[in-house]
Amino acid sequence: MRVLIREEIADAGIELLRAKFDVVIDTDSPLEEIVGDYDALIVRSATKVTADIVERATKLKVIGRAGVGVDNVDVDAATRRGIVVANAPESNVVSAAEHAVGLLLALARNIPQAHAALVEGRWERSKWGGVELADKVLGVLGFGRIGRQVARRALGLQMKVVAYDPFVSAERFRELGVESATFDGVLERAEFLTLHLPLTDETRHSIDADAIGRMRDGARLINAARGALVDEEALVAALESGKLGGAAVDVFSKEPYDGPLLRAPNIVVTPHLAASTEEAQDRAGVIVAEQVAAALDGGLVTNAVNIPTVGADDLEALGPFIPLAAKLGRLAMELAGGDVRRIAIEVYGALAENDTRLLTVAALNGAFQGHTDQPVNYVNAPIIAADRGIEVIEEKRRSSRDFTNLVRVSADGVRVAGTTIGTDDRHWLVSALGFELDMELAPRMALLLYDDVPGVIGRIGNLFGAAGVNIANMTVSRNREGGKALMALSIDSPAPPELMEQLREGMDEAYVIQS
């Protein structure tokens, strides 16, 4: 597979990719002319991956953004095409947090202004005296990765930290010794306010004239997150009126920026430097290379922005069950005949306490393999279901009768269920077609439904033996003596067509599933 690197990334990331793939570094050729030759594309912030580029990327499987934001990638267009879009959200956490704290210190002690005055020959010691941070209240809006790192460092400076984030549990606030408050509560109490919110339609211009009006007189604002979180005109007015005692800004609504904020009083500005450290840039390159490699290898891309994202704790719990759900989805679809109108995913046991959306996507990914004329992956499987009018049902129950954790997938009522066994989390089939089973899931399997009469097992064994196909495992289940029985087998090699025809003779149903 071929990987196109469009902008500079760390050498370690390039070498990681070159160990597996054909890597081409081309920063000059027109992207729309060459993108169709590649399976993966890696960019930073300068390259614009538009819908037109995506349309021309006929082979593309993954777009890697070596950094946090994906504003320069048309994620919707990529998703429709089943292209994974992955970024490196952890790469700049430390750098961004340190820069925010640097702005906090510079703002409190007027360091840039004092420096500028001194190099211009003015000794203005009394003019640029500042305030201590110890015992001051730092308000943190957005308590994600960066917000938490800023809070840790502020606590080390003996500040009192109060934070707002509706998506963070109360336990996480308590762990760090940070007080949780409402959005307005943080505004009203903060002597210094730092922004770490994601930019969405809801958060755009969160800090406008109204929000600033609710802040303490003389409070100071730090923004090293997204420029559009702040109404810049309102901020300039607040600085000029003295409502705010100062502001430190690293990001702007339009960049490069040259506007009135640069000339406002008591302002500290930097040109979007928060992630601009050698360590962050190297980390971003390595992380995105790992994500691209995972996508091309058919693995789970943990940083994909167009696949449901779950927390680290949830992902650790779900990990062994994601490929299990995919296998069950594939099996259920094969048993149902492929043309279904409803797919249900049920999760039982302690696993149900986690965010299980990835299991649903995995089950859909497995179900559609071989049943659509387009490549299927974790990105476009839900879209394929929606396009086909398939109803997708998710259910969770915290108790399971016989297993600690159980995943059941149904395709139009045809049910299969599985769990994991042992320390190596082997994938185990525990029920299918209404029969209880006990065998390891395998790439090649046969399920045979028949009348529970003598001689069937021997005949089936002879048929496989005559065809030269070895039976690796077999289990038989029945609903009652003399009733119906289900035989499940895993086989070492593909079953030839003539064997499949022979298996169907005398059977109510015969299913052969092989990759």
Q: Using one digit for the tens of pLDDT, what is the confidence trace for 433-453?
A: 999 999 999 999 999 999 999
What pLDDT, on the 0 to 100 scale, is given for residue 374? 67
2-90+280-306 against 93-269: fold identical: yes
HSE of 119, CA atoms in CB hemisphere, 13 A: 5
Contacts of 116 (CB under 8 A, 6+ apart): none
Pairwise CA distance, residues 246 & 219, whole Å: 7
Residue whose C-alpha is closest to residue 443's, from 498, 376, 497, 492: 492
The CATH topology of domain 442-515 is: Alpha-Beta Plaits (3.30.70)
Cis-peptide, bond into residue 256, ω within 30° of zero: yes
What pLDDT, on the 0 to 100 scale, is given for residue 309? 66
Model confidence at 305, pLDDT cuts 50, 70, 90, reads confident
**CB count in 10 Å sphere of residue 59:** 13
What pLDDT, on the 0 to 100 scale, is given for residue 147? 95
Model confidence at 206, pLDDT cuts 50, 70, 90, reads very high
Sign, CA dihedral 393-396-399-405, equals positive
Could you give the C-alpha distances from 39 to 2, 57, 304, in angstroms and in order? 5, 8, 16
What pLDDT, on the 0 to 100 scale, is given for residue 515? 65
Q: What is the mean pLDDT of residues 133-145?
A: 96
Contacts of 422 (CB under 8 A, 6+ apart): none
Residue whose C-alpha is closest to residue 293's, from 37, 47, 61, 34: 61
CATH superfamily of 2-90+280-306: NAD(P)-binding Rossmann-like Domain (3.40.50.720)
Instruction: Decide if 331 contacts 277 (C-beta within 8 A).
Output: no
Locate 388 and state its tokens: 């086909």
Instruction: Decide if 371 contacts 391 (C-beta within 8 A).
Output: no
| First-to-final CA distance of the chain | 21
pLDDT tens digits, residue range 353-390? 998 998 999 999 999 888 876 667 778 888 889 888 89
**Identity (one letter) of the amino acid at 499?**
L
Locate 91 and state its tokens: 């790469």
What pLDDT, on the 0 to 100 scale, is given for residue 178? 97
What pLDDT, on the 0 to 100 scale, is given for residue 419? 96
Instruction: Decide if 249 contacts 267 (C-beta within 8 A).
Output: yes
HSE of 386, CA atoms in CB hemisphere, 13 A: 7
Q: Which residue has the higher pLDDT, 513 or 194?
A: 194
Instruction: Decide if 31 contacts 51 (C-beta within 8 A).
Output: no
Model confidence at 406, pLDDT cuts 50, 70, 90, reads very high
Instruction: Decide if 16 contacts 290 (C-beta within 8 A).
Output: yes
Locate 348 and state its tokens: 């039982």
What pLDDT, on the 0 to 100 scale, is given for residue 168? 82
pLDDT tens digits, residue range 456-474? 999 999 999 999 999 999 9
Extents of the domains making up the chain? 2-90+280-306, 93-269, 307-431, 442-515
Percent pLDDT > 70 in the chain is 98
Q: Which residue has the higher pLDDT, 170 or 348?
A: 348
Pairwise CA distance, residues 348 & 325, whole Å: 13
Task: Say if residue 82's pLDDT is above 70.
Answer: yes
Q: Which residue has the higher pLDDT, 17 or 413?
A: 17
Q: What is the mean pLDDT of residues 94-118?
A: 97
Catalytic-labelled residue, pool 8, 255, 279, 391: 255
Pairwise CA distance, residues 53 & 164, whole Å: 39
Please identify, in words, the CATH class of the domain defined by 307-431. Answer: alpha beta
Catalytic annotation present for 398: no
Catalytic-labelled residue, pool 172, 205, 272, 444: 272
- Report angle CA 498, 501, 502 to the nearest 5 degrees: 90
Task: Say if residue 198's pLDDT is above 90.
Answer: no
Task: Say if residue 182's pLDDT is above 80.
Answer: yes
Q: Which residue has the higher pLDDT, 71 or 342?
A: 342
Which H or E run includes 436? strand 435-440
Q: Is-above-0.75 flag for pTM?
A: no
Pairwise CA distance, residues 81 & 374, whole Å: 9
Task: Say if residue 148's pLDDT is above 80.
Answer: yes
The CATH topology of domain 93-269 is: Rossmann fold (3.40.50)
Model confidence at 171, pLDDT cuts 50, 70, 90, reads confident
Catalytic-labelled residue, pool 44, 153, 226, 408: 226
Pairwise CA distance, residues 511 & 447, whole Å: 5
Catalytic annotation present for 226: yes
